[in-house]
Chains A and B, each alone.
Chain A
Amino acid sequence: MSASSTTYFSDSNKKGEVSELKKSLQSPEVQRDASQYKKIIQKVISYMTLGMDLSSLFMDMIKAGATHDLVQKKLVYLYICTYAQSNPELALLTVNTLRKDSQDSSAMVRGLALRSMCSLRLPDLVEYIVEPLLAGLGDNSSYVRRCAVMGCVKLYHLIPDFVEDNGIIERLCGLLTDPDVQVLCNCISALDEILAAEGGLQVHKKLAHYLLKRLKAFSGWGQSMVIELLLRYKPRNTDELFDILNLLDDRLKHPNSAVVMACIQLFIHMTKDMEDLTEHIFKRIRGPLMTILASSNSELVYVCLCHIELLLTKIPNLFDQEYRSFFSRHTDPQYIKTKKLEILTAIASISNVEEVVTELSAHVHDVDIEMSKKSIKAIGEIAMCLSQASEYCIDVLLTFLSWEIEYITSQTLVVIRDLLLKYEKSAIAVLPQMSQCLEIVQDPKGLSAIIWILGEYGQSIPDSPYMLEPLVNKIASEQSAEVKLQLLTATMKLFFKKPPECQDMLGRLLKFCVDEESHMDVHDRALLYYRLLKTNAKEAERVVCGSNSKPVTNPSNLNTNMPNSKELLFKEFNTLSIIYGQPSVHFISQTIPYIKGLPYTQEKEAGDERVLHHQEELEAEEPILPPSGQHLTVGNLLGEDVGNEQQDEEREEEDVLELSDHPALTPAQFEQKWKSLPQSSCWEEAMARLPSTPEEFQQHFSENKVAVIASSPPGQSIQKYFFYAQQASEESFFLVEAVIDVTTELLRIVTKVEDLSLVQQFDTYLRTCLEGEWIVEDD
């Protein structure tokens, strides 16, 4: 009773607020008092920010838009754009006001009107918007023009046909010569998005040079965008390439780090085939990177650090001299400390190892336990890679043991255990400390490490059996299987080294593990040892105490793991991929068929006809910059320059079409996806026979994991079906429209696919489904 009354109350309270706003908006008194009216509108916006549903005020807000107060107008339009979709009928009423405003004498108002008009997101209204938008493209105020240009993109996403119907691409290309640089920048962004399906805006020589000439007048944002665009440009010869590099060199001094980063990317990209230059280029970009690093802005520093980490995989000694810049400050956020630690590990070399290790050991004290552990691991990694410094590192590690702090001791032991595999000689220094460590360590990982050491070097530790014994006695209460396994092996090893002291202990241990242990691995291993001993003790010794295989390590080991993915990352330099440390396919749901930052390689493979973009006829005759023979070298197999097909092939290997048995999509979702997705393929086939009932046709699809979502009623001359399928592992959908023309017996299939790498596969799949049954097979 009371519960229902409270919910009722709160509901009415919320409704009360909205209706009160409505009342105020409608009250003539308020409307007469401009400042009060404005206050109410501000209130509406602030409630909107909080996420309240205020769509019921739509009508009153439209009225409020008819004002000369620019600020009020802006607020009203912000409101209208937010709620237009929930009030499509009423939205029509705003069009009038907006159109009137788009002819206002003030450029600010005209621009605002255009911006808002295009943000309504109502396809039905586009017909009213086109005219003012086209007028806006030719407006004499650049402010209006730049709003209009962006408006074209907005409408394009709403109704793709709009672009073609109105010759927008030509209009935008014309505006590339606009005297105002912001208009020009917006044009480039717009064209790039509209042409995305064809690989974005193509950069030919004229455009590239034109942009380079005007580059300096652009804002920082514009510059970074244009430089990113130039990644697609392929200079014709080395001279041109150097001219471009020289021209852009001073951009490395731009205060906006986005420009600097874009420039670095371009430098690396353009010279990637000229190996003799690589080092020079990398040295050139080092200074600017260090400048970003010295900035007080932690986020930018982080971005920069992530990129430095990647660059190090190409040239590991690039930052050897600057290692001090990677020393952490007490006030650095944790994420920066961690990154710096990783970089320090990577750049440690013989010349700086002592200082780097000293720095790393300073962080072992860190309040954050994770950080402390990472520092210890890092020292271990350095010791692994630099065998000359291993002794020094192990000495440092041993000092950590003397602090007698559980997690530090435990982590250090794990690291030392790994190091002993490689540097057996260091055992002498390590062993005396073990008995003391055993008292401190509780963590299973540390404990297994110490047990391993005891088993391996038991012969050199006088007390070793007596150190293991308490552990064996406590085996019943031991939780960790890892420790138990290690204990079994260590006791076995020790048994062969010191039989009289260990026999009894080993017997007890094996008995317990065979009879009472519930963990399968432990039980089985104990049984194995038991049988080994029973069959042949000599043979058992050979098995258990066999020589350890040395871990394979070399200095480059750290950096070259997964060269393929690193190479992919280089392609997406200066994007989020570097921050996440993985290629964009892992974190972006690709609704737009291209990846920003991935340069479109237009290079032509000799004799290959499948090259997609033949840009200019001239180019084919001129010698191509890198001799084509280079492609044969192994290093380039994974390089960027292998061209589009290589990438496609790679992708195909990764993405295999595997349809889900139970695709799930609601009609509303389907409709929304259908509207938003570009058409990915369309084909027509003559039908072998017409389906007698729609069900028969649908049945065939659903048997092949393609579900039906809607179909037109039977008995019409044009039958329409909508189908969908879903990729099993992911959320990506395939949408299909099938139209059967009964009179001509033609079947038209239109597909829209979310994951574009699968377009081809899905098409073939569909075809094979239909073949034999409904359509005539291709011969």
Chain B
Amino acid sequence: MIGGFFIYNHKGEVLISRVYRDDIGRNAVDAFRVNVIHARGQVRSPVTNIARTSFFHIRQGNVWLAAVTRQNVNAAMVFEFLNRTVEIMISYFGKVTEEGIKNNFVLIYELLDEIADYGYPQKTDTAILKTFITQQGIKTQTREEQAQITSQVTGQIGWRREGIKYRRNELFLDVLESVNLLMSPQGQVLSAHVSGRVVMKSFLSGMPECKFGMNDKLVVEKQKSGTSDPSLDPQKKNTTSKSGIAIDDCTFHQCVKLSKFETERAISFIPPDGEFELMRYRTTKDISLPFRVIPLVREVGRSRMEVKVVIKSNFKQSILGQKIEVKIPTPPTTAGVQVVCMKGKAKYKASENAILWKIKRMGGMKESQISAEIDLMATKDNKKWARPPISLNFEVPFACSGLKVRYLKVFEPKLNYSDHDTIKWVRYISRSGLYETRC
């Protein structure tokens, strides 16, 4: 149970203070400011215990959000609640900043009143909250409107209301992946994983039942064994087994009927209207790493350093990678940098202690190189420079995990449209998460 919820700016001034339970007093607000915000040190733990009161805190830009309790609560729950609160605020007024909070404080108090009662989280779906808390404020409602809202707040299917109609039934699927890599200087993969999301934007009438299929290894293998005689069609067998991917773990939006997934690995659901995240998944095997960074650092005496970095794109020639940005860290004692690069633009940024090398577009199976000479200031400090890894940002139009959407079928038995009448769009984007190469 959450006892109270506070938002502070970076100076420690209270922007929002909502107390849910009596065991949290006003002094708790100040205790956090003094002990955490003003301490200015590194945050040693996201949970701080002050005088037997636990403060769960997260930072969003220049503001602190803290949930406070005096009981031994489920820690994951409180952090999930804090994050959800942030998500809700973002969906209402965009980025959570001091200004945003000050401008919307009435709204935030309204929300806080709704999403938790006596410290117990209540309904927190943004779609539903938005039906009865609007930024303008509801003045008067007609009877029907009221009834409709009530039915949504209380409905059995919490995420979709009845009676939605579209002239054009359309849906968009985005497979968004974030590729994470940690590579040793010798090019050995230390750790790599893809966290992916399938985001769906649906504009469908009525209460459609959807079925989503992808090249999940388990499904593919099951179907393979299901075909009567694989020897009859050896070629087909080969292709399917290749395209299946191993998903380490996945989570679904609450609309997905999980029992069906467990038994048949079929993903079927009635989607919420508009945009939502259908599933999240994680893979660690057979990840195609779109870029490889090869660093070469040479320290020439105490006053000079030579850095050479090669970047290789490792995907089909016809595909274009975009927004490529290589960040090469330089020592804090850097006095000057001369850079030569084959492609794109490179610049030394003293404020970030790094050389930023930007390439707008790069085709597959290409290679480019940058070399830099770094002049160092002489220092007495004997401390060795801890070389941070070279990080890479990029965007490529395919799924690095190898995930493919095989189908998305729509059934709406009551209304007059079928799967064929629905217009469907699928898009794959992989972006870099933490894509680092140590040097």
Chain A: residues with CB nearer than 8 A to chain B?
42, 45-46, 49-51, 68-71, 74-75, 78, 82, 105-108, 112, 115, 121, 141-143, 146-147, 150, 153-154, 157, 179-180, 182, 185-186, 189, 216-217, 219-221, 224-225, 228, 249-251, 253-258, 260-262, 287-288, 290-292, 294-300, 302-304, 324-325, 327, 329-331, 333-335, 355, 358-359, 362, 365-368, 403-406, 572, 574-580, 584, 587-589, 591-592, 595-597
Contact = CB atoms under 8 A, between A and B. Distances in A.
Given A224-B76, A253-B261, A576-B47, 5 more contacts: A49-B17, A228-B74, A255-B254, A261-B77, A575-B74
Interface stretch (B223-231, B243-251, B410-418): B243-251
B93 interface: no
B80 A257 contact: yes
A172 B324 CA distance: 59
A147 B17 CA distance: 21
Contacts of B17: 49, 51
Contacts of A257: 76, 79-80
Interface string B136-156: 011111000010011001101
A45 B195 CA distance: 42
A124 B358 CA distance: 70
Contacts of B121: 219, 221
Contact of B74 (A262, A325, A330, A331): A262
Contacts of A300: 76, 79-80, 83
A142 B153 contact: yes
Given A49-B105, A296-B433, A302-B46, A186 B252 contact: no
| Dominant SS among interface residues on chain A | helix
B120 A221 contact: yes
Given A106-B141, A224-B77, A256-B80, A587 B44 contact: no
A576 B120 contact: no
B406 interface: no
B300 interface: no
B124 A219 contact: yes
B45 A69 contact: no
A219 B113 contact: no
Contacts of A50: 13-14
B23 interface: yes
A245 to B, nearest CB: 12
Interface string B380-405: 00111011110100000000000000
Contacts of B254: 219-220, 254-255
B75 A303 contact: yes
Contacts of A255: 251-254, 277, 280
Contacts of A250: 258-259, 261-262
Contacts of B199: none
B42 interface: yes
Interface in B280-312: 280, 282
A575 B46 contact: no
Contact of A143 (B47, B79, B150, B250): B150
B191 A291 contact: no
* B113, B141, B277, B391, most chain A CB atoms within 10 A: B113
B238 interface: no
Given A142-B153, A291-B282, A335-B43, A303 B248 contact: no
A261 B389 contact: no
A588 B52 contact: yes
A224 B77 CA distance: 8
B409 interface: no
Which 5 pairs from chain A and chain B are nearest by CB? Answer: A365-B386, A258-B77, A250-B258, A71-B137, A221-B121
B15 interface: yes
A292 B140 CA distance: 44
Contact of B383 (A295, A327, A405): A405
A250 B256 CA distance: 11
Given A69-B137, A75-B106, A359-B190, A576 B43 contact: no
B376 interface: no
Interface in B61-76: 70-76
Given A70-B137, A146-B122, A258 B384 contact: no
B142 to A, nearest CB: 11
B79 A299 contact: yes
A249 B262 CA distance: 9
A75 B18 CA distance: 12
B54 A365 contact: no
B169 to A, nearest CB: 27
B75 to A, nearest CB: 5
